[in-house]
Amino acid sequence: MPKRTFLRRNLNFYVQKVVTGPFQENSYIIWDSSNRQAILIDPGDDCKLINDQIKLNNLTPIAIINTHAHLDHIGAVSDLKNLYDIPFYLHENELMILDSYEDSCEMFGISPNNKPSVNYWIKNEDKLSIGTFEIKIIHTPGHTPGGVCYEIENHVFVGDTLFKGSVGRTDLPGGSWNALKKSLMHLINTVDHEKIIHSGHGNDTTLSFELHSNSYLISLN
């Protein structure tokens, strides 16, 4: 499958999805339409592909924020962090996942990039203010111990917590199905069901759609 990019226009910012690497991971670039400052979310394996979009749109990255630290979501973090001299945000409970990066790459037969250093460990915060972006943090462990979702206006970036028609796997180290079920219920109870859900793989969706079609969410009711 060829690499692809998708662009959404919001009232105050753009959302660019960049599909990267052998796992077809969704990396996201969001930027303020007034000053073109950008935040990178889960930049995956292909630094060049992501950076090509940054340059094409004449953007100034100001931060990297990750939903979790699996290998397919952090492969380009170190290079982009160093290229633009910007901070990297990650939940503190993701340390064990981050530290297993090289071993995970070996397990999947992938050559590792540099493991990124974290500038800001998210703890119990419920929001981040970065540039003009006000970002609500939704703590959703289960797929990984420190998984989080980021809600920005009408958009919710959920990483591998929820997919269109499915949910994140919990059979990898640090995963917990019981924790993920609680996190999914938390999403259902706190996020507007019509907001756009941007997952770490696959197509966008909404909670409204998933509650009527996703067997995992239907079974929670």
Q: Which residue has the tokens 């796992």?
A: 23
Per-residue pLDDT of the chain (221 residues; tens, 9 = 90+): 334 566 666 667 899 999 999 999 999 999 998 899 999 999 998 999 999 999 999 999 999 999 999 999 999 999 999 999 999 999 999 999 999 999 999 999 999 999 999 999 999 999 999 999 999 999 999 999 999 999 999 999 999 999 999 999 999 999 999 999 999 999 999 999 999 999 999 999 999 999 999 999 999 87
For the record, the structure tokens of 118 come out as 């974290």
Whether the CB-CB separation of 132 and 37 falls below 8 Å is answered with yes
Number of compact structural domains in the chain: 1
Distance between CA atoms of residues 64 and 110, nearest Å: 23
55 CB-near residues (< 8 Å, 6+ apart)? none
What CATH number has the domain bearing residue 172?
3.60.15.10
- pLDDT confidence of residue 6: 65
The closest alpha carbon to 62, from 148, 120, 2, 124, belongs to: 120
Task: Count Cα atoms within 13 angstroms, Cβ side, for 76.
Answer: 28
With H, G, I as helix, E, B as strand and everything else as coil, classify residue 53: helix
CA angle 136, 142, 143 (to 5 degrees): 95
- pLDDT confidence of residue 53: 95
Distance between CA atoms of residues 105 and 112, nearest Å: 6
- pLDDT confidence of residue 2: 38
The closest alpha carbon to 183, from 133, 137, 215, belongs to: 137
Q: Which amino acid is at 35?
A: N
- pLDDT confidence of residue 7: 67
- Kindly report, residue by residue over 154-164, the tens digit of the pLDDT: 999 999 999 99
- pLDDT confidence of residue 11: 64
Burial of 72 (0-12, 13-18, 19+ CB in 10 A): buried
Name the β-bridge partners of 152. 155
- pLDDT confidence of residue 187: 97
Task: Write down how long the chain is.
Answer: 221
- Kindly report, residue by residue over 167-179, the tens digit of the pLDDT: 999 999 999 999 9
Give residue 21's domain range.
Answer: 5-218
Distance linking the first and last C-alpha atoms of the chain: 36
- pLDDT confidence of residue 1: 35
- pLDDT confidence of residue 3: 46
The closest alpha carbon to 64, from 46, 86, 48, 83, belongs to: 86
